[in-house]
Structure 1
Amino acid sequence: MSLKSSSDLPDPEGPPATPKDAATVVLLREGGSGVEVFLQRRVAAMAFAAGMTVFPGGGVDKRDADASISWAGPDAAWWASKFSCSESLARALVCAAVRETFEESGVLLAGTETSVVADTAEFAGARERLVSREQSLAGFLAEAGLTLRADLLRPWANWVTPPQEARRYDTRFFVAALPEGQRADGATTEADASGWRAAADALGDAEAGRSTLMPPTWFTLTEIGEFTSVREALTAERSIKKITPTLVREGDRARIVLEPS
């Protein structure tokens, strides 16, 4: 995969920045022509990945690790084994995935131990408070009497921002199906366009220059495009290795080299 010009490559001085932990969720639904994914184009003013088409997600908030959160599904130890991290971080990553998905798309992976919220409209105020950091995920779920549904998520991948970048993230990717009755929206200040696309169509937009994808998004869309149903994607066996792309200058061009950490 090539970049437009090697002159656009960051060239920070000193050692690489330490990546911050982050979570991204690939929302899936059955579309007319197969599996569709929910994508958002980040506004040009964003400090990281400005103008890029991405999945909902963001950095871990230290409050995401709150052990008081009511939880259903695989426990922190199971998630830690999948992402090769500590149990406390694994718990925070799952919570960050749920929180960021709700903040950026309005989709809430919560309910009771046996049911999932079907209409999130009543939680619009809480969504705003989560975005502004006035309220924590733990506070919101407790106030609403909701249980986080970790069983609705599946571990997918682990990508780390190239060492040449000033802002770096160690991002764990999850996949999840859009809960019945819920809708994903674009009501976030971080995106100027949102919507559902078949993976092949999203990749076609990028190849035609109508959108810009980072390597993790490109590769994830390629993988999702191989499945014929959401169920097939959710039940796929995944072996997760930390991948850190490297940006390599080659004259006036640059390419991305992918190697597991």
Structure 2
Amino acid sequence: MPNERSTTAFDPESVPVKDASTVMLVRDSARGVEVFLLQRVVGMDFAGGMTVFPGGGVDRSDSEASVRWTGRDVQWWAQRFDVTPARAQALVLAAVRETFEECGVLLAGQDPESVLADTAPHAQARGQLEARELSFGDFLTREGLVLRADLLRPWARWITPLGERRRYDTHFFVAAAPEGQNADGETSEAEHVLWQTPAESLEHWRSGRSVLLPPTWAQLTELSKYATVAEILAAEPKIPTILPIMSRTDTGIHIAFDGDEGYYDGGGPHPWANRDDI
């Protein structure tokens, strides 16, 4: 049977842009602020083999869920990300859901002032959520949990450039890892996971031991400017919508964005270096 990708014309303009949420979990350590990272399984359709933060696409159930919520209201989130209130709710729910699915950290508690100290009792539900056998709203309601939106901060927004076969409008959040909860790699999407300072992660990339997409590189670069988690959570960054431009060059494919010279001059591997499919 012929390979569909090689025989079917690719129309970049027809690729839909899907909403996605990504959460940068941070914690203080003797070496400074550390951030939780996953290396995605090689061969995945999007960002396979690359080092990323926990996150993923918004589900329809995230938009339709009715949950107890504490923190800034939906309108505030909508203004910060420049989206409709309905999209803002879905993005926040997706951020909390994806973080739970991908590393077992759940930003929720039995009441508006608490956060779960241990998520192990919800391991079965975590698997059901990842398999899409259970909606996040139903899970929170069943367990009597309050979503702690106040533990999240909006951080950045990047859109996958025109020319990719999968495109996402990704909204970045930051959150402090809750005391007592253990971020793990018990997900089908991760080859392995680790905590690193942003500087360590960038050095890991420069030495060729990891591959970072431009948005991941940009957020690690920004996080490296902060000395403590408290400073990060107190920050109120501007959140422009960043849409990089993809183009062909003599060496492969170039992704242009504000500050891209730091990415291309940094010495690390670039995921598009040898591509010729645009």
TM-score (norm: length of structure 1): 0.93
| Residues 17-57 of structure 1: per-residue CA shift (max 9 Å, x gap) | 22100000000001221000000000012100000000000
Q: Deviations over 1:92-150 (max 9, x none)?
A: 00000000000000000000201111111111111011011111111111111100000
Give the Å deviation of 1:245. 1.1
Q: What's 1:236 paired with?
A: 235
Deviation at 1:246, TM superposition (A): 1.4
Give the Cα separation in 2 of the matches to 1:107 and 1:63: 20
Contact 2:157 2:240 in 1 (8 A): yes
How many positions carry a matched residue from both structures?
Answer: 250
- What does residue range 147-186 of structure 1 map to in structure 2 within 5 Å? 147-186=146-185
Alignment of 1:73-84 (within 5 A): 73-84=71-82
How far off its partner does 1:14 sit?
4.9
Q: CA deviation at 1:259?
A: 5.3
Aligned ranges 1:81-100 → 2 under 5 Å = 81-100=79-98
1:24 maps to 22
| Aligned position for 2:60 | 62
Aligned residue runs from structure 1 range 207-226, under 5 A: 207-226=206-225
Cα distance in structure 1, aligned partners of 2:200 and 2:81: 30
- Maintained 8 Å contact 2:12/2:162: no
8 Å contact kept, 2:12–2:165: no
Secondary structure, counterpart of 1:65 in structure 2: helix
Q: Which residue of 2 aligns with 1:3?
A: none
Instruction: Report SS of the residue matched to 1:95.
Output: helix
The 3 A distance-change label for structure 1 pair 68 and 242 is same
In structure 2, relative to structure 1, the CA distance for the partners of 1:222 and 1:35 (3 Å cut) is same
Whole-angstrom distance in 2 between the partners of 1:143 and 1:252: 53
SS at match of 2:13: coil
Distance 1:96 1:34 in 2: 28
| Corresponding letter in the other structure for 2:254 | R
Q: Distance in 2 between matches of 1:224 and 1:137?
A: 29
1:33/1:14 Cα in 2 relative to 1: closer, same or farther (>3 Å)? closer
SS in 2 for 1:15: helix
Query: What residue number does 1:7 align with?
Result: none
Query: Equivalents in 2 of 1:59, 1:259: separation in Å?
Result: 25
Unaligned runs of 5+ in 2: 1-8, 260-278
SS in 2 for 1:24: strand
Indicate if the aligned counterparts of 1:118 and 1:179 stay in contact, CA closer than 8 A: yes
What is the rounded CA distance, in whole Å, between the counterparts of 2:258 and 2:14 in structure 1?
17
Q: Any conservation in 1 of the 2:107–2:151 contact (CA below 8 Å)?
A: yes
1:144: which partner in 2? 143
Secondary structure of 1:195 counterpart: strand
CA distance in 2, matches of 1:194, 1:82: 30
Q: Residues of 1 paired with 2:236 and 2:12: CA distance?
A: 39
* Residue 201 (structure 2) pairs with residue 199 (structure 1): no
Residues 16 and 214 of structure 1: is their aligned pair in 2 closer, same or farther, counting only changes over 3 Å?
farther
Q: Which has the higher contact order (CA 8 A, sep 6+)?
A: 1
Q: Which residue number in structure 1 is paired with residue 132 of structure 2?
A: 133
> How much does 1:256 deviate?
2.1
Encode CA deviations 1:213-232: one digit per residue, 9 max, x unaligned. 00000000000010000010
Identity of matched residues, %: 53
Shift of 1:195: 1.0
Gaps spanning 5+ residues in structure 1: where? 1-10
Q: What amino acid maps onto 1:164 in structure 2? A: G
- Describe the SS at the equivalent of 1:172: strand
**Over aligned residues, Cα RMSD in angstroms?**
1.4
